[in-house]
Structure formats: C-alpha cells, structure tokens
Amino acid sequence: MIRPPALRPGSRVALVAPAGPLAEGAVDRAAERVRAWGWEPVPGDFCRGRCGFLSGTDDERAADLQAALRSPDNDAVWCLRGGYGTMRILDRIDWEPLAERPRPLIGFSDNTALHLALFRRGVVSFHGPHPATPELAEFSRRGMLRVLTRGEAAGVLPFPAGGPPRAGTLAGGVAEGPLVGGNLALLAALAGTPWALRARGAILFVEDVGEASYRVDRLLSQLLLSGALEGVAGVAVGAFSESPDEGKPEYPSAAEVVAERLGPLGVPIAAGFPFGHVDESWTLPLGVRARLDADAGTLELVEPAVRAPGDGE
C-alpha cells in the first residue's frame, strides 16, 4: 500500500463536500478547527452549496473533489460531512493524481465509497471524524493526530475513559491483515460495482447508524452472498448507534446479528470498538496492517499509517 507523508504544522488541507449539504456556519466551523490544529484550510469552491439532499450537483461535487486531488498545493483532503451522494460521483473521479502524489484522504460514513476506491488502487486512506461536526471530542482529535502526524506504528489503540476498556468477544482468536471497511450500508451498496469490497486476507471493520436489526442482517447477507467476505481474516465491529430496536428485548442487537451471520466464517470477531457515529471515535487507516485480538478485545496498528519526513515508500 502507498502511504502518504505525515501532516506537519502549516499543512494545507482541502475541505470538500462530496455527499450531503452543510448547515449554515458548518464550513466556517470546520475551517476554524483546521486552523486550531495548526493547518491551513482550503475550502472547495462548491462546498457551501445545496442541491436537494446533496451539497451540489454531481458535476460540482466531482469538480471540487477532483480539484483537491489534482492540486499541487494541498497536503490532505478532508471530507466535511457524510450524508448521501458520494457513490454518485465515483465514476467521475480520476484517482491517479493521489496515487502519484499520496496525501491523506479523511472521512467516514458515506465517504466509505472513497475509501474503497482508494483501497482498490493500493492507497492508504483514513476513516475518521468530519471537521464540520459541531463537537469533536479530545479523544477523537488525539486519535486522528496519532495516525496522521507520526511516522510510527500507533500500537494498541486506546479506549475512551469511563467506558468499557476493551471490546467484547464474539468469536475468539487473533488475526492480522490490512484494515478495510467502513459504513456497512455503503459496503453493501457497492457490491457488484468496480469499487466493491474485497476483504480477502484483511481485517474488516464495520459501523452504522440508525439501522434496525433486520437491516443489519440484510446488509451482512448481501456481503456474504456477493462473495465480498471470502477469505476475510477477522472482523472488528464498531458502533451501531441510534438503532430503532435499541432497548427492545425481542430484537437482537447488532452485535448478536453479526455473531449469528458472520460466526460461521470461523474467524476472530470482536464488537464494541470506538469508531463510527459516536462522539469518541478512532481514526482507522485503510490498507495499514492491524492485529485483531478478539480474545483480549483489542485492535493494534502494527505499521505506520504515514511516512515520516525522509522515509521512502
């Protein structure tokens, strides 16, 4: 996998909105956050727009993302928010500029589509919080900086204080492989496309928001039936937040659905990792090797996600 250089003080960060529209003031809030972290924000020309449930027309959103990828001046591309619409522009994007001059591309949720496209090209990208979120927890900030600014392996990733100190074991064992995954709905939606998930030899990580138990079952079933999970090495389950079935004992939890549907794969599975649509969330680098210890409930990054100054690739 091609790793981008580490971000440094003064790095220029392109801000793009390839999915849903931003609320008033959200782009300015994101720019202020980028400056507070010691970087220089570069908002896209169309990131403040709106076209129904999208931040702009397909042409506008694709143009902003393509301009960020082609720019010789920026050092990272950070998606402002998720929502819906990123997969509508996948076939319009030329990824070669990012492969030729790697830079971190950061985002999650609907932006899982971009991560799968880059994983297919062998380029490391970052599943992490969006800068336009109203509140970004210190835990999330430290986690993002840990993987984006240090050319060393992050090691065993910490859990937020005050919560469980480890994930729960759904199927025991230890596995190692490159990380791949993201939002479960997007992983399923891209089945059968040129950007479809292929998890052979990898540690799959999944999260989602607002999904009922039966929908989680359906999404996992789609991945199983498509062959996307053939040869997967292990599964790390993040937050399945805001489920309409939460608190209803007659319905299984998302973790129980994962255990029932993916348990027959015979690979290590652990659930309850802090990533996804939650306040305190990890930043996970797709394509970077990780070690999942489902017995201990830990996830360890065993190699750097970025290159330190002077490192070759």
Told to judge if 242 belongs to the known catalytic residues of this protein, a careful annotator would answer no
Is-contact 44 108, C-beta < 8 A? Answer: no
Told to judge if 303 belongs to the known catalytic residues of this protein, a careful annotator would answer no
- DSSP-H helix ranges across the chain: 26-36, 58-70, 96-100, 112-121, 138-149, 184-189, 213-226, 254-262
Cα–Cα distance measured from residue 293 to residue 167, given in angstroms and rounded to the nearest whole number: 10
For the chain, the C-alpha Rg in angstroms (whole number) is 18
CA atoms within 13 A on the CB side of 43: 20
Told to judge if 135 belongs to the known catalytic residues of this protein, a careful annotator would answer no
- Nearest Cα to 185, choosing from 214, 212, 216? 216
Catalytic entry in 55, 125, 207, 213: 207
Catalytic entry in 109, 125, 243, 281: 109
Phi, psi of 307 (to 5 degrees): -95, 130
Catalytic entry in 11, 277, 280, 281: 277
Catalytic residues: 109, 207, 277
